[in-house]
Amino acid sequence: MNITRRNILKTTLAASTAVALPHLWLPGSGEAWGATLKKGEPIKVGLLFSLTGSLAVPEEDSTLVMQYAIDEINKAGGVAGVPVEPVIVDAKSDFAVYSEKAKELILRDKVIAIFGCYTSASRKAILPTVMQRNHLLYYPTCYEGAECTQNTICTGPLANQHSKDLIPFMVGNFGKKVFFVGSNYVWPKESNKNAKIWLEQAGGELLGEEYIPLGSSEFGPVLNKIRDAKPDFIFSTVVGASDIAFHKQFKQEGFKVDDMPIASLTTGEIETRAMGAEFGAGHFLSAPYFQTLDNPTNHKFVEGFLASKYGKNGVTHYNMEETYISAYVFKAGFEKAAAEVGFENVTPRSIRDHSGGLVIEDAVSPEGQVWIDKDNFNTWLKPKIGQCQADGTFKVVKAAAEQVAPDPYSIYPDLGVCTANGLKAPDGSIRKNVI
């Protein structure tokens, strides 16, 4: 072998990579990618949420409630009789960190699935890795749709399950004129494409549309434009710490909720607690879950979680509940796959493939019965609209009578239909992993 500077550099790089990520596959090692399961050893799952930064307001609670759900599952015998072990990562509200940590969870920690992300930007940052490794992501919050992958299971609402009801409700109760405000990334912009269609169908009028940088807390210029436009209500897709700043500055600038309420897809109990109930009172949220839902399973969930060591922030929330449900979707999908192929042969993809049609019953789901669509692997659920009260809780003012089917391409019917094998176009062709 010729000893050259290039060979030395290649050897050094390989060695340093092996030290940093000891379970990474290296050429010639013969080691397989991904998780390996052995009876008697815990099942590792990754929790990839932000514990610091502008997205920590909702995402820390997702990490906490996943730990609560895992403890609950383990106390009841685990998954397929085996305990679950969470590998907890702080994504630091940085999309590059999400991507880096997803690779580490899959390749170094060898988790069987990842639960994570709150924004579509972070989800799209990790999906290339998840798809390349044929792995599995549970995405437990609302998103915009227009996506059809074979490696995700989503337990939150799509646009046709929240803004489709919220927009006409607001137009009918407060007036036709609306101003859109959102954080500047893919979910708010794509959600607003949907909302514009619902608004037109409701006979409404869009007066303005503004986006602010993700994590920004400066809303003075936007509020000045809103003051000049005089809308009947504001439709908000602002997220994280920015959402808290927006609601506080709305009140501080003299805007009155009775004259111009904010209708949001994100401002729930967590955000209201962080900002102070006086800044949230009177405004509206569309979500499948509220802490005040009156049913035995939700009472048990709320009381158990808040009394646990994970309930330090004092509330439950739609994003937390959707995360909690995802733990039980994982348990059911894993056990179904294990019964079919054997415990040690379960893979991330086999869990996904055995999850279509899974039902999470009333006795487990705090929001009531939901199920995973057998084609697009999103969730059938009951949309609800709540109004924030003076104490920071939400009163449900409208609720769907039946579960609504998730439709990721509701405003793009010409693109096709999401099936279990990929996006099926009108001409019959199928494209896999469309993001």
> Any idea which residue has 């009801």 for tokens?
165
Tens-place pLDDT, residues 75-90:
999 999 999 999 999 9
Lowest mean pLDDT among 18-27, 59-68, 135-144, 385-394: 18-27
The one-letter amino acid code at 323 reads T
Q: For all residues of the chain together, what is the average pLDDT?
A: 92
Determine whether domain 160-287 maps to CATH 3.40.47.10.
no
Tens-place pLDDT, residues 256-284:
999 999 999 999 999 999 999 999 999 99
Q: Is residue 7 scored above 70 in pLDDT?
A: no
Neighbours of 109 (CB within 10 A): 18
Token pair, residue 138, equals 């549970």
Q: Is residue 20 scored above 70 in pLDDT?
A: no
| Alpha carbon distance 28, 25 (integer Å) | 8
Lowest mean pLDDT among 13-17, 249-253, 365-369, 419-423: 13-17
- pLDDT number for residue 400: 97
- Mean pLDDT value of segment 331-359: 97
The pTM of this model reads 0.90
Q: Is residue 23 scored above 90 in pLDDT?
A: no
- 338: confidence class by pLDDT, cuts 50, 70, 90: very high
Sequence-ordered list of residues with C-beta below 8 angstroms from that of 300, at least 6 positions apart, any chain:
none
Q: Is residue 30 scored above 70 in pLDDT?
A: no
Tens-place pLDDT, residues 295-331:
999 999 999 999 999 999 999 999 999 999 999 999 9
- pLDDT number for residue 34: 59
The angle subtended at Cα 277 by Cα 272 and Cα 282, nearest 5°, is 90
Closest C-alpha to 405, from 195, 210, 168, 157: 157
Contact 219, 244 (CB under 8 A): no
- pLDDT number for residue 354: 98
Token pair, residue 173, equals 């109760």
Q: Give the start-to-end residue ranges of the domains of the chain.
A: 160-287
The one-letter amino acid code at 73 reads I
- 36: confidence class by pLDDT, cuts 50, 70, 90: confident
Tell me what percent of the residues of the chain surpass a pLDDT of 70: 92
| Alpha carbon distance 123, 139 (integer Å) | 8
Tell me what percent of the residues of the chain surpass a pLDDT of 90: 90
What is the DSSP secondary-structure string of 39-65? TTSPEEEEEEE-SSSTTHHHHHHHHHH
Sequence-ordered list of residues with C-beta below 8 angstroms from that of 178, at least 6 positions apart, any chain:
167, 170, 171, 199, 204, 205, 206, 207, 231, 232, 233, 234, 235
> Any idea which residue has 């904010």 for tokens?
262
Sequence-ordered list of residues with C-beta below 8 angstroms from that of 276, at least 6 positions apart, any chain:
248
